[in-house]
Chains A and B, each alone.
Chain A
């Protein structure tokens, strides 16, 4: 049971964007009834079938590490948080679609997590600058999730979608946009993150599975099987042709 292989995925983003609700949804397939501030880090586990439906199907544990806080925290908080960034295999960046600043802060979040892991590959990362090149060569797969999509007024939706498309290009990542509350006038439910949006078969669920599969492949199926962390090997296995059509 506990002897399945595991991968570690960080869930990063500003306070209040919905990381805890998202992690709860991904792992328990239920909405989180009473979200509260995350102090430190909360972990949850998802059982994922790699390459579901093919003969090579195998089950893995995906650990989702939801790290709380803001990018502007004191340096004591940042250095304590850095403890959680060890040996990360994938990163999910969460931002609030109604709040532009949370999207901008994602650059700093990703730098904070990747700096911690920077590594013998010789990728020199300066603390404040954002370098697109570095994300192109990035060994850690990224996924961009935008929440609270339904709270944007109809007229602004296109503008927001174009902005997030640029963002996902910058990170060389896939993106998923989720709704947060169901505001219908007949029922006033306060569920955060509608499970309907991630039900099997929807395009969001497909993107999610693809991301997790990519993370698992990066960790376990690269060309050099003897490497430990997966970062030392700079050769990128291009799995895009296998998955995307």
Chain B
């Protein structure tokens, strides 16, 4: 009976998550596009729903809600469904929509989509070879094979995003990095932009008028071909079209300049708005947070380096360690079991919520930047795939943040994976990503004032 009740609870929450994913898709991602293929929306919402259910199960694990056998059952069920979606459904639809966009292959859409899927499976399988992620006791068709590979991809993604986020966050929040931009700078740049546009317009007028006169005179605009044509073109003066191509080259150069000026002006406007924002109360608050974040980020990079250099893998989670420290060094006595449960609940909850929110925001920004009306379906499915893999691996990595008694369910469900490998891999990629982001931001920051001063 309790199993039935638990299942009903799980199902209701899954429907809720599905609805949330649906709304997010409609309101945020596909704000400017019309949804013509509802399959895409359904697949996205399903992926989101099952990923969130996994997080929910972790929370239930910590809180001790629902009976342990039904929890285990739902874990397994959820895992199978999500692997099915991530490995079979989403890649197949990605292949299908990519093939639909290519006109030559319209006839045999299904066939080509299957071919694309098989190629994906081949590379997916090959991915597991260079990594020591499996113990030899696993068979070839076990679930651990799939999870381990999904885990590798997801952990790489997580580490890349965290590394970049850890560096970018203080850079964006702190006003120390803001360049000084005045209104007159912006006005000067805008004036230059308009002058360039005027020059382009006057050259284009010349081209249009010359073309019109040539057309009216019945001159042959195309170059004469053939042997006699070449001889003729040497002797007669084709000044009309020569002039045109010269002016056209000048116009192309001016257009490139106008694009650059436009982008610079946008950049300056954005900086000016950030300066104004930093003077408000909210801005000051974020500036303050930025200092904390930068310390935290430096600490994380430091810890990642230590872990790699000293080949150290943390054995205890932060909650237990924190409690140990307070009990042993500060001498405060309190009920360890009670508090560890609540603190780990809060900590894990915060991690989950911030990672979901952070990922959705990043995905939205990414989607706006690169999507067009033709490729929006494909891109949203790719984002759904990334999201699913990200959430699966965050469950994997979260195991480290939980006290021992809660880890067992994750270990049991995910099988005997080499968890230490994943943490090490995360540290390596995090370090690489953070360092290259620092380099990238440094170069971008240095280059901008030079451009600005060259005006």
Contact = CB atoms under 8 A, between A and B. Distances in A.
Interface stretch (A43-51, A163-171, A225-233, A235-243): A43-51
A42 B255 contact: yes
Interface residues of A, number: 38
A79 B266 CA distance: 8
A69 B374 CA distance: 16
Interface residues of B, number: 38
Interface in A61-120: 61, 63, 70-72, 74-77, 79-80, 83-84, 96, 98-102, 105
Contacts of B374: 16
Contacts of A1: 205-206, 209
Contacts of A213: none
Given A63-B201, A75-B273, A83-B194, A40 B208 contact: no
B283 to A, nearest CB: 15
B205 A16 contact: no
Contact of A45 (B190, B208, B269): B208
A100 B34 contact: yes
B263 interface: yes
B373 interface: yes
Contact of B33 (A43, A45, A101): A101
B263 A188 contact: no
A200 interface: no
A40 B263 contact: yes
A151 to B, nearest CB: 11
Contact of A102 (B32, B207, B263): B32
A180 B103 CA distance: 15
Q: Which 10 A-B pairs have the closest CB atoms?
A: A40-B262, A76-B269, A76-B270, A45-B204, A16-B373, A39-B259, A80-B265, A45-B208, A80-B266, A99-B34
Interface in A1-37: 1-2, 4, 6, 14-16, 27
A47 B202 CA distance: 13
A68 to B, nearest CB: 9
Given A45-B208, A46-B208, A96-B373, A79 B269 contact: yes
A42 B255 CA distance: 8
A105 B32 contact: yes
B372 to A, nearest CB: 5
A45 B193 CA distance: 18
Interface of B: 31-34, 36, 103-104, 190, 193-194, 197, 200-202, 204-209, 212, 255, 258-259, 261-263, 265-267, 269-270, 272-273, 368, 372-374
A149 to B, nearest CB: 15
Contacts of A76: 266-267, 269-270, 272-273
A46 B201 CA distance: 11
Interface of A: 1-2, 4, 6, 14-16, 27, 39-47, 61, 63, 70-72, 74-77, 79-80, 83-84, 96, 98-102, 105, 188
Most buried by B among A39, A96, A100: A39
Nearest to B373: A16
Nearest to A86: B194
A41 B258 contact: yes
A45 B201 contact: yes
A39 B200 contact: no
B266 A83 contact: no
Contacts of B200: 43
Given A15-B373, A99-B34, 5 more contacts: A1-B206, A45-B201, A47-B209, A77-B269, A98-B36
Contact of A27 (B190, B208, B261): B208
A101 B269 contact: no
20 contacts: A4-B205, A16-B372, A16-B373, A27-B208, A40-B193, A40-B262, A41-B258, A43-B200, A45-B201, A45-B205, A61-B205, A63-B201, A71-B32, A72-B32, A74-B266, A84-B197, A98-B34, A99-B33, A99-B373, A100-B34
